[in-house]
Structure 1
Amino acid sequence: MRRLVFAAVLLLGMGTAAPAVASTHDKADAAAGWLARQLVDGERFEVEFGGERFPDQGGTIDAIFAFAAAGVSGTNAEKAITWLARPEITTGYVGAGTESYAGAHAKLLLGAQVRHRSGTSFGGVDLEGGLRALLTPSGRFSDRSDFGDFSNAFTQSLALIALDRTSGGAPTSARAFLAGTQCADGGFPQDFGQTPCVSDVDSTSVVVQALRATGDTTNAAEGTTWLAGRQNADGGFSLGTAASNANSTGLAAQALAGYRPVAAVKAKRFLRSLQQGCSSPAANRGAISYDATGFDAATARRATAQAVLGLTGVKFANLHGGGQAQAPTLAC
């Protein structure tokens, strides 16, 4: 059990204590606490484009995953899922009318499950039914959109993980399709149908979780072996020939935990090396930088969310809400 140190400050002139502010030495808890404090109004993330700000549903769900993995920031997680359940926010993400996006359905369905919300009536949308309706005869979950099909390995994997948590289970054809995308070297590509098949660290990290969750341990083991072989000397993981980064390392460490313990420990050590500590400005403490070049507010939010998954090792299939309500700060 993680140890939280509580500092209670007495109200001036009164004998009662003010609400305790939690501080922690646990790296994952501190990272999740920092992430919670970055939420706009404590409930959502936004992105800026062309001088305008737009809701970032995907980034907000990533935060919910991180809070569940660490078991902290429960108050913010509940605010976030409540915001996501606003009808205009839900449909603005998963699509409406002739537009329907498989990846968004899958990710939001999993987020709803993590927070113990209905997946068949969320923001006025049947997320489970909508996702199943996007299953093609090949077993691939594909977008229905006038703008093209952007479904990929993350779409397929999150769909399998989310549907496996329902009473109807994950479609066998969908698992077979995903397994069939495996490259000759054992890893998995991000995009389907490309020649040559190029294995990708991020995609392999989530695919092996989906295959294991739905019972395909053989192909998952091959993917895990490939993934472990891609670890850099510093313990991190990268995309292509680039330097190690927190996003790829977080996903890889999450996938390796419990199956390649030595590699997972090295990856966690790398993630801790990127955390902003007590010598950093107070507002940045607990955040995980994208890479060793230092803190960058533009990339730290997503890097921290995915790093928490690696620091805890909790799989997507095992994420559940609950835990501490507070968003702890790094103890200094």
Structure 2
Amino acid sequence: MPLRRTAALALSALVAAPVLAAAPAAAEPVTTEPVTTREPVAAAAGWLARQLVDGERFETVIGTDTYPDQGLTIDALLAFDAAGVAQDNARKALAWLGKPEVIGGYVTDDQGSRYAGAHAKLALAVLAQGGDPTDFGGVDLIAGLTALQAPSGRFTDRTTPPTDYTNSFTQSIAVIALERHDAAPGVAVDFLANSACPDGGFPLKFEQPTCTSQVDATAMAVQALLAAGRTATATEGLDWLVTQQADDGGFRDNGLPGDQGTTSNANSTGLAAQALRVGGRTAAADRAVAHLTGLQVGCGDDRTAGAIAYDGAGFKPGNAVRATTQAVLGLSGVGLAEISSAGDKPAAPVLDCTTTTTTTTTTTTTTEEPAPSTSDTTPAAPAAGSAGELARTGVATGPALLLGVLLVLAGALAMALGRKRYTTVKEEQ
């Protein structure tokens, strides 16, 4: 298999891939004056948009070679649609994905191999953007996907040499995409539903000697089954998912080896929060969202403000993009079956780090407007070890208090001397 296709598959697989040795290629700095926001989900999506290369795509660098990352680009596009912002970038991304050389290097390869997951994921992105998946870039993604369905109902790859990269993510996304287009074949839904483990969760890999439920796979399967009307089986998956929520509100990837799966991470938490919200588990979803906002980078550095760190260790360039894409899904609460670009805003906003000033006749007081909550309930405090709370000014309480005292004294002196009073003060961020 050509290196180009092998690298693309490894890096755009339909499973959460939060920790990678190769980081996405850096984007060029944006110089235009941006729209600002205090909404965590919009700030995260805006940061994500500014990481795109040429505002349209993600690339992955391995050694001295650079490869297009169609899978990560689609993840970002879906995040923009879920957040309701960055549609200028979403449209550019879709146009890039529709180029013959780009789509051809993703759903197939130069040896004639065909990939079910790529067909399903791209079809979902096209549908979310209001496009026609039966004619995208000259490719009928729906026909291509259904042609890869086995008699058992499972969607599989057909490659040369024979290699199958499909898993529960593939099946779930295929069911969602086909349901959104028309209706998923009953046999395909049956295959997914019947793959559930005895505890109610869903495995990442099918037909293993031991059925081991995995958080990410269960979150995806639940959304697919709800979209297909299989409420009873989806409910059992939600029940299992709730039991996996950590005390900090987050979810760990119990499919990772060793110590990697022992702590909560943004990818698993984002997918779980999305599924819980769609499934009506409001309290658990709110706790997961609180964990995600606790991982969000606050003010202090314009280059990272708004991003979602992978875990409590803080922002790391190598995994922040992939963590943010799936965290946005959880913050938005919009399911994959409903994500749409309709009515979304074109700009990619930045986190608003300014303060609001109020003035009296004798003193000047600077107050900070709190960032709005992303849930209907009172938000929990940021998780311990968080990367920074949203809209943090970065100014310590002690110096701020001293500044207020000095301003009061200065105002009194100005009144006594009949000199012109200051009426406003803007705190530098």
Aligned to 2:121: 107
Counterpart residue identity of residue 242, structure 2: A
Partner AA of 2:338 in structure 1: N
Q: Are positions 1:310 and 2:330 aligned together?
A: yes
Separation in structure 2 between the aligned mates of residue 218 and residue 318 of structure 1, nearest angstrom: 20
Structure 1 distance, partners of 2:283, 2:294, is 17
- SS of match in other structure, 1:48: strand
For residue 266 of structure 1, report the CA deviation from its aligned partner: 0.5
Cα distance in structure 2, aligned partners of 1:239 and 1:84: 29
Aligned to 1:78: 91
The residue that corresponds to 1:50 in the other structure is 63
Report the Cα distance in structure 1 between the residues aligned to 2:345 and 2:42, rounded to whole angstroms: 10
- Partner SS state of residue 252, structure 1: helix
Equivalent residue for 2:52? 39
State how far apart, in whole Å, the 2-side matches of 1:160 and 1:172 are. 10
**Which among 145, 162, 167 is matched to residue 152 of structure 1?**
167
State the shift of 1:20 in Å.
6.3
Matched residue, 1:182: 196
What is aligned with 1:15? none
262-271 or 94-103, which moves further after superposition? 94-103
Of the candidates 252, 264, 267, which is equivalent to residue 247 of structure 1? 267
How far apart are 1:136 and its partner, in Å?
0.4
Give the AA of the match of 1:330: L
Do structure 1's residue 66 and structure 2's residue 79 form an aligned pair? yes
Unmatched segments (≥5 aa) in structure 2: 1-31, 255-260, 354-429
Q: Is the 8 A contact 2:127 2:181 kept in 1?
A: no
List structure 1 segments (4+ residues) > 4 angstroms apart after TM superposition: none
CA shift, 1:321, in A, is: 1.0
Deviation at 1:147, TM superposition (A): 4.3
CA distance in 2, matches of 1:98, 1:174: 24
2:292 corresponds to which of 265, 271, 286 = 271
User: Which letter does structure 2 place at the counterpart of 1:36?
Assistant: A
Cα RMSD for the two superposed structures: 1.1
1:1-332 pair list within 5 angstroms: 21-96=34-109, 98-145=112-159, 146-167=161-182, 169-240=183-254, 241-258=261-278, 259-279=280-300, 281-322=301-342, 323-332=344-353
Higher relative contact order (CA 8 A, sep 6+): 1
CA distance in 2, matches of 1:25, 1:232: 27
Read off the aligned partner of 1:234 and give its amino acid letter: D
Q: Supply the distance in 2 between the matched residues of 1:50 and 1:148 (Cα, whole angstroms).
A: 25
Deviates more, 1:128-137 or 1:144-153: 144-153
- Amino acid across the alignment from 2:92: K
Question: Equivalent residue of 1:186, what SS?
Answer: coil
| Larger mean Cα displacement after TM superposition, 287-296 or 147-156 | 147-156
What is the match of residue 4 of structure 1?
A: none
d(CA) in 1 for partners of 2:33, 2:69: 31
User: What is the CA-CA distance between 1:50 and the residue it aligns to?
Assistant: 3.0
Residues 154 and 171 in structure 2, CA contact (< 8 A), matched pair in contact too: yes
TM superposition score normalised by structure 2: 0.72
Amino acid in structure 1 at the alignment position of 2:85? V
What residue identity is the alignment partner of 2:263? A
Gaps of 5+ in 1: 1-18
Q: 1:258-308 deviations in whole A, cap 9, x for unaligned?
A: 5211110000000001101013x1100000000000110110001001000
Identity among equivalent pairs (%)? 53
Secondary structure of the 1:316 match is coil
Aligned partner of 1:257: which letter? R
- Matched residue pairs, number? 312
Secondary structure of 2:154's counterpart equals coil
**Aligned equivalents of 2:188, 2:125: Cα separation in 1:** 20
Aligned to 1:284, what secondary structure does the other structure show? coil
**Secondary structure of the corresponding residue to residue 192 of structure 2:** helix
Letter in 2 for 1:274: L
Counterpart-to-counterpart distance in 2, 1:94 and 1:178? 22
Distance, in Å, in 1 between the alignment partners of 2:292 and 2:185 is: 35
Cα shift at 1:21: 2.8
Following superposition, the deviation at residue 44 of structure 1 comes to 0.1
How far is the alpha carbon of 1:318 from its aligned partner?
0.3
Q: Which residue of 2 aligns with 1:7?
A: none
Deviation at 1:104, TM superposition (A): 0.4
Distance 1:295 1:20, change over 3 A: closer
Distance 1:55 1:147, change over 3 A: farther
Taking the aligned partners of 2:185 and 2:142, their CA distance within structure 1 comes to 12
1:190-226 Cα deviation digits (max 9, x unpaired): 0000021000000000000000001100000000000
